[in-house]
Structure 1
Amino acid sequence: MSLRAAVLGHPISHSKSPALHLAAYGRLGIGMSYTAIDVTENLLPALMGQIRDQPGWRGLSVTMPLKTAMLGQVDEVRGVAGTLGVVNTVTFEEHPTGTRTVGSNTDVAGIVSSLRHAGVAAAPSAVVLGGGGTAASAVAALQQLGAGHVTVFVRDTSRTGEVCAAAGSLGVELEVRNLADAARPAAGADVVISTLPPRAADGLAAGMAALKTSTPGVLLDVAYDPWPSLIASVWQAGSGTVVPGLEMLLYQAVEQVRLFTRLDEEVNASVIDVMCDAVGLPRRVL
């Protein structure tokens, strides 16, 4: 029986996940396919119904706009995914009664690993840009790094349900402000995590550049296409450290590979090396 995995989202043609996963499976010597499937929220239930009846499925990577919608399509939700209400990973487990689908979240681990690699100290002052599902994962990651207070800047302060619910369940004090006011607070923060879509932070970047001040902290820009983003360029010009979204994607994909292959220690530095090579990232050691 051939093994299968895929990434689901809309749009999905830009995804780097197939390159990361296929490189890992090749290095591990596992015959597992990994494809990109374009699916909207409305079509997700039908797709999941089809997949349940097909043999060989090991896992699904879940990206926007499906991370919340997937909650209602799995049999069980585990770990921080249940706390956040955000699923970016689905695994398939065999049980006596048949296949069970399990939702989990590797985005949080991906953010934590990428920020630690960048040298983020404990209990950082933190800013998150955006208020959706990825912002909720960012708040959870910052909580793991010791941040008790996070300021979230959004374009529409009435649409922050996901990130507010996440902060409440995690015991993190959340301050919600308008994105138009973010330039100076962001420039002075230890950590800034932008979860905004590509180019959505361009106005903020221009505002930061106009301040003509240094940006000594760490910026993680989850958007990775086009790269470098304007905010990443402005941040680097201010002598700050920039973590590309592609690096976060790498770290969360490593955790997915471990889940989908049902291997752990075998997904080692040599596997991570070929994953880095597949997307043009400098080689990392976890």
Structure 2
Amino acid sequence: MARAYAEVIGDPISHSKSPLIHGFWLSKLGIDADYRATRVFPDDLGAWIAGRTADPDWRGCNVTIPHKAAVLDHVADPGGVRGSIGAANTLFRTGDGDCIVTNTDAAGFLAPIADLDLSGAPVVVVGAGGAARAVLFALEKVGVGRVTVMNRSPLKAAGLLTHFGLKGDVVPLGAPLPPAALLVNASSLGMTGQAPLDLDLSPLPDEALVYDIVYAPLETPLLAAARARGLDTVDGLEMLIGQAALAFELFFGTAPPREHDDELRGLLLA
């Protein structure tokens, strides 16, 4: 009998820690299923999705760079992800067997800072891709103040501020940071194989929080610089585990055992 399975897709994909996370939870719960990492090239995305949705054992997939916007062209979107966040990170089967998209990144991003009062607070976000869309969507929901977006393409970044109804500014990468309560790296800068994100953090107040969604490596130059300044930090594993937990329940019909998060983090850091 064939086993149910889910997976994560992207290009590249070898860095993904999602198979370890989902495999850990499947093992803890005794669920007889698999979770894989699959490299899918951009030109092959449509045909790949068509093939997987025809497989009754396939439960869905997580989606990472560079497919988060492109998947919206190939899968039903009854929740209006295209019009809200504009990027999807999860494809899953409904109870009727249909395949639809959603985005668990926004909730996963907010989970580790849920106790932080960001109402009216100034924020800096680096990047304007699919992850940045989820971050800005989440920040709008909690009522932040002015948002400064740092990005190579000012026009793209300005469009995101308008899309999410946020007041703020767009500045190029490398521009001086404004004072902010929260700095979020929502780009791939600092990821293994990518250029580092080199920012002078001195304009940030002492109570600022620096949040880097990159998780490979976990200790990015940005987080190292923030800790050297004595600033509070949130690393990429927090958001990764949070968004994965929501997706796991969609794939396998049960919540993951979050009481084992400390053990899971240990495995991810090993």
Query: Do the two structures share a fold, i.e. TM-score over 0.5?
Result: yes
- Using the aligned pairs only, state the percent identity: 29
180, 186, 191: which one aligns with 2:182: 191
In structure 1, the residue corresponding to 2:154 is in which secondary structure? coil
Q: Which amino acid in 2 is paired with 1:149?
A: R
Distance 1:76 1:158 in 2: 26
- Displacement after TM superposition at 1:172 (Å): 2.0
Q: State the match for 2:166 in structure 1.
A: 172
Distance 2:205 2:169 in 1: 24
- Displacement after TM superposition at 1:38 (Å): 0.5
Matches for 1:125-204 after TM superposition, within 5 Å: 125-160=122-157, 164-165=159-160, 167-181=161-175, 183-185=176-178, 188-199=179-190, 202=196, 204=198
Matches for 1:1-16 after TM superposition, within 5 Å: 1-16=2-17
Cα distance, 1:213–1:115 mapped onto 2, change above 3 Å? closer
Does residue 1:239 correspond to 2:230, yes or no?
yes
Gaps spanning 5+ residues in structure 1: where?
282-286
Return the TM-score normalized by structure 2.
0.89
Moved more, 194-203 or 52-61: 194-203
- Displacement after TM superposition at 1:250 (Å): 0.7
Tell me how many residue pairs correspond in the alignment. Answer: 265
Question: What RMSD over aligned residues (CA atoms) do the two structures have, in Å?
Answer: 2.3
- Displacement after TM superposition at 1:65 (Å): 0.3
Are 1:254 and 1:272, in contact at CA under 8 Å, matched by a contact in 2?
no
Distance 1:149 1:81 in 2: 24
Are 2:218 and 2:236, in contact at CA under 8 Å, matched by a contact in 1?
no
- Displacement after TM superposition at 1:138 (Å): 0.8
In structure 2, the residue corresponding to 1:36 is in which secondary structure? strand
- Displacement after TM superposition at 1:40 (Å): 1.8
Distance 2:263 2:218 in 1: 21
- Displacement after TM superposition at 1:135 (Å): 0.7
- Displacement after TM superposition at 1:108 (Å): 0.2
79, 97, 105: which one aligns with 1:107: 105
Distance 1:158 1:169 in 2: 12
249, 255, 270: which one aligns with 2:259: 270
In structure 1, the residue corresponding to 2:12 is in which secondary structure? coil
Q: State the match for 1:256 in structure 2.
A: 247
Cα distance, 1:159–1:122 mapped onto 2, change above 3 Å? closer
Are 2:146 and 2:168, in contact at CA under 8 Å, matched by a contact in 1?
yes
Distance 1:58 1:16 in 2: 19
Q: Which amino acid in 2 is paired with 1:146?
A: G
Are 1:164 and 1:174, in contact at CA under 8 Å, matched by a contact in 2?
no
Does residue 1:39 correspond to 2:37, yes or no?
no
- Displacement after TM superposition at 1:10 (Å): 0.5
Cα distance, 1:2–1:202 mapped onto 2, change above 3 Å? closer
In structure 1, the residue corresponding to 2:5 is in which secondary structure? strand
Distance 2:77 2:174 in 1: 39
Structure with greater helix share of residues: 1
Return the TM-score normalized by structure 1.
0.84
Are 2:29 and 2:257, in contact at CA under 8 Å, matched by a contact in 1?
no
Are 1:84 and 1:137, in contact at CA under 8 Å, matched by a contact in 2?
yes
What do the CA deviations read for 1:141-161 (whole angstroms, capped 9, x no partner)?
Answer: 11222214311011221343x
Q: Which amino acid in 1 is paired with 2:116?
A: V
Q: Which amino acid in 2 is paired with 1:120?
A: L
What do the CA deviations read for 1:196-233 (whole angstroms, capped 9, x no partner)?
Answer: 2243674633x33xx48755311111112223111111
Show structure 1 runs of 4+ deviating over 4 A. Answer: 79-82, 211-215
116, 120, 130: which one aligns with 1:120: 116
In structure 2, the residue corresponding to 1:75 is in which secondary structure? coil
